[in-house]
């Protein structure tokens, strides 16, 4: 019954999204079916249920996402430091447009042995973050591909989110960036690197930001996947934190 209700709701949402000219744009600067798209749908559904008129735009990639963001008058934009670190995709984070941090993910280096080995799998746009490690970097599209390569024995080690790494049964964790014990990586400058999924807003009503903060599904995922968002006391500190983190990603 609940599913049928949701389906009817989804159809109504789709119709409303198409017909409504004044809806708030929710921009996912990513491809359809990806993680950012999923989070965007969860937020859109929740905001619709709370009475806000929201039109989801899945841009296809971060370059087009930035273009749509520039052209829009009133919008929500969900992004990460990793995406924002690509020069063609950078949307400036300011105290005015920062709205909310959804998730903070830690990163892990897993290996078959106690060392990095010869070849380490890394997400292509993240190569800069691990370039000073003494290992050959093999680029992959995402952490799922790295997991596949690690399992198949194609790479000796892999740089993965904590959540993705936890899915691999046979592994040795060399470092967890969210742990205080940095092991052999105490000198590595990015040993505390995190990835934040955060929201920027343009001409956004504070009621909408409050509504997004109280999204039960998002909060459940954060708890379940150990991605509780880092939220500092002031917006100034929060923006500084994201900008510092973004530099590490560049």
Partner 1 sequence: MEVTLFFSGILLGVFAGLMPGIGVFTTLILIYPLLLDLTISQLLILYIPLLSISQYLGSVPALYFKIPGESTSFIATEYGYPLFHKGHYDLIPLTAIGSFVATLISAFIIACLPFILENFFYGLLSTKFMFFLILLTGACLVGTSKNSWLLTIGLMILGLILGNIGFNASNGRFFGTFGIDWLSYGIPIFPFIVGLYVIPNVLDINPSSITSKHIDSAYSSSVLKLKKYFSKMLSGSFIGVVTGFIPIVGKIIGVSVSRALYKSSDKNSVVVAESSNNSAIFTALIPLFLFGLPITMGEILIFNIAETNYYNLTTEFKNLLQTPLLPIVIVLSGIAGLILSWPLARYCSMVFRMPITWLKTFLLSIVLGSLFYLGIENNMLWYYVLILIFFIPIGYLLRKNDVIPLIFSFIFAKISITIFERIII
Give the residue with the Cβ less far from partner 1, 119 or 240.
119
Nearest partner of 62 among 40, 100, 88, 97, judged by Cα? 88
Binder of partner 1 out of 26, 43, 58, 93 (CB under 8 A) = 58
8 A C-beta contact, residue 200 and residue 238 = no
Give the residue with the Cβ less far from partner 1, 138 or 239.
138
227 binds partner 1 (CB under 8 A): no
8 A C-beta contact, residue 84 and residue 93 = yes
Distance of closest approach, residue 47 Cβ to partner 1, in angstroms: 13
214 binds partner 1 (CB under 8 A): no
224 binds partner 1 (CB under 8 A): yes
8 A C-beta contact, residue 115 and residue 134 = no
57 binds partner 1 (CB under 8 A): yes
71 binds partner 1 (CB under 8 A): no
248 binds partner 1 (CB under 8 A): no
**Continuous segment of H or E residues that includes residue 163:** helix 162-165
Q: Provide the token pair at 186.
A: 């105490």
Work out the number of other CB atoms within 10 angstroms of the CB of residue 2: 6
Q: How many residues bind partner 1 (CB under 8 A)?
A: 53
Q: Provide the token pair at 159.
A: 């740089």
8 A C-beta contact, residue 26 and residue 75 = yes
The piece of 56-64, 94-102, 184-192, 201-209 that touches partner 1 (CB under 8 A) is 56-64
Binder of partner 1 out of 221, 230, 243, 248 (CB under 8 A) = 221
Distance of closest approach, residue 3 Cβ to partner 1, in angstroms: 6
Work out the number of other CB atoms within 10 angstroms of the CB of residue 114: 10
The piece of 36-44, 91-99, 177-185, 228-236 that touches partner 1 (CB under 8 A) is 36-44
8 A C-beta contact, residue 109 and residue 158 = yes
Nearest partner of 150 among 199, 93, 110, 186, judged by Cα? 110
CB within 8 Å of 215: residues ≥ 6 apart? 42, 43, 46
Distance of closest approach, residue 152 Cβ to partner 1, in angstroms: 4
Binder of partner 1 out of 22, 33, 92, 181 (CB under 8 A) = 33
Contact pattern for partner 1 over residues 109 through 138, marking x by CB under 8 A: ----------x----xx-x--------xxx
8 A C-beta contact, residue 59 and residue 68 = yes
The residues that touch partner 1, with contacts defined as CB under 8 A, are 2-3, 6-7, 9-10, 13, 32-35, 38, 41-42, 45, 57-61, 63-64, 67-68, 86, 88, 119, 124-125, 127, 136-142, 144-145, 147-149, 151-154, 163, 166-167, 169, 217, 221, 224
């Amino acid at each position: 019954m609940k599913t049928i209700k949701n389906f009817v709701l989804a159809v109504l949402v789709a119709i409303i999204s198409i017909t409504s000219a004044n809806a708030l744009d929710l921009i996912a600067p990513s491809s359809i079916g990806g993680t950012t798209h999923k989070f965007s749908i969860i937020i859109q559904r929740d905001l619709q249920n709370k009475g806000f008129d929201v039109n989801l735009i899945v841009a296809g990639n971060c370059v087009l996402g930035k273009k749509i963001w520039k052209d829009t008058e009133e919008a929500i934009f969900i992004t990460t430091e990793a995406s924002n670190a690509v020069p063609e995709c950078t949307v400036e984070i300011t105290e005015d447009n920062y709205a909310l941090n959804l998730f903070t993910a830690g990163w892990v280096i897993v290996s078959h042995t106690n060392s990095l080995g010869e070849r380490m799998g890394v997400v292509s746009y993240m190569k800069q973050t691990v370039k000073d490690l003494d290992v050959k970097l093999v680029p992959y599209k995402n952490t799922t591909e790295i997991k596949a390569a690690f399992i198949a024995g194609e790479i000796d080690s892999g740089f993965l989110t904590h959540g993705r790494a936890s899915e691999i049964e046979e592994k040795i964790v060399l470092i967890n960036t969210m742990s205080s014990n940095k092991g052999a990586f105490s000198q590595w400058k990015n040993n505390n690197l995190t990835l934040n999924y955060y929201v920027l807003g343009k001409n956004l009503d504070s009621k909408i930001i409050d509504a997004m903060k109280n999204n039960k599904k998002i909060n459940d995922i954060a708890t379940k996947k150990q991605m509780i968002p880092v939220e500092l006391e002031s917006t100034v500190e929060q923006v500084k934190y994201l900008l510092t983190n973004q530099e590490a990603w560049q």
